[in-house]
Amino acid sequence: MRSVFILGTDTGIGKTYAAVRIIRHLRESGMSVGVMKPYSAGKSVKTGAKSEDAHILAKAAGVIPDSSINPDHQEMEASPYTRCVMGYTAPDPQNIIQQYRALESRFDAMVVEGMGGCMVPILHDYYMMDLARDMGLPAIIVSDNKIGAVNHCIMSVHVCRFRNVQLDGIILNKMHHDGYSIDVLQKSLEGMMDVPIMGIIQNDMLVMN
């Protein structure tokens, strides 16, 4: 595995959990790993990187959680574009990409975690998945197993391909006891798409296929 951008079918579906396990896998293979949480929202928890997710990623990678890994954090729980509509300063994806390039040069691999789902808008007609594409990173889509996950996965894959985002695969996260069984979800997705199910999270473990 190499550098990767972690996308999701939705918010709160385990992107950070998956990212941490991928970071650990890369480090165990002897690689130095940089991390980035370009956009985040919610309560600011610490100095440096403001997002709790960014601190979790930094700890897993063994790097300092400074603002360079979490350059755009706002306490308002909304997409960057929604904040812009409400009168806040418009985000600058090119600045984010420049900061990513500076981080990338220092490490063997990078793990970047997006915010929310694939189509969280950063600007008008510029989405989280577009940032992955413009960083030149392949993406992994993380999905939970709730009823509706098949629909969300298919839509996420199709829209990523429409926007020329390279997909490495999908990681399924068993979060809901009343959702799909992982076996059924995996077989359903594999029967409809040619994107591999590259890993499964259950019982607090990520098992890569």
- Please report which helix (H) or strand (E) contains residue 74, including its range: strand 72-74
Cα–Cα distance, 140 to 3 (Å, whole number) = 11
Radius of gyration of the chain (CA): 16
Cα–Cα distance, 59 to 15 (Å, whole number) = 16
Helix axes 128-135, 93-104, angle to 10 degrees: 40
Q: CB neighbours of 121 closer than 8 A, spacing ≥ 6?
A: 79, 80, 81, 82, 127
Confirm if 128 and 115 have CB atoms less than 8 A apart. yes
Catalytic annotation, pick one of 37, 50, 59, 174: 37
Tokens coding 142: 């993380």
What residue type is assigned to position 33 of the chain?
A: V
Q: CB neighbours of 98 closer than 8 A, spacing ≥ 6?
A: none
Q: Residue 65 — φ and ψ, nearest 5°? A: -85, 65
Tokens coding 166: 């390279």
Q: Is 37 a catalytic residue?
A: yes
Q: Which residues are catalytic?
A: 37
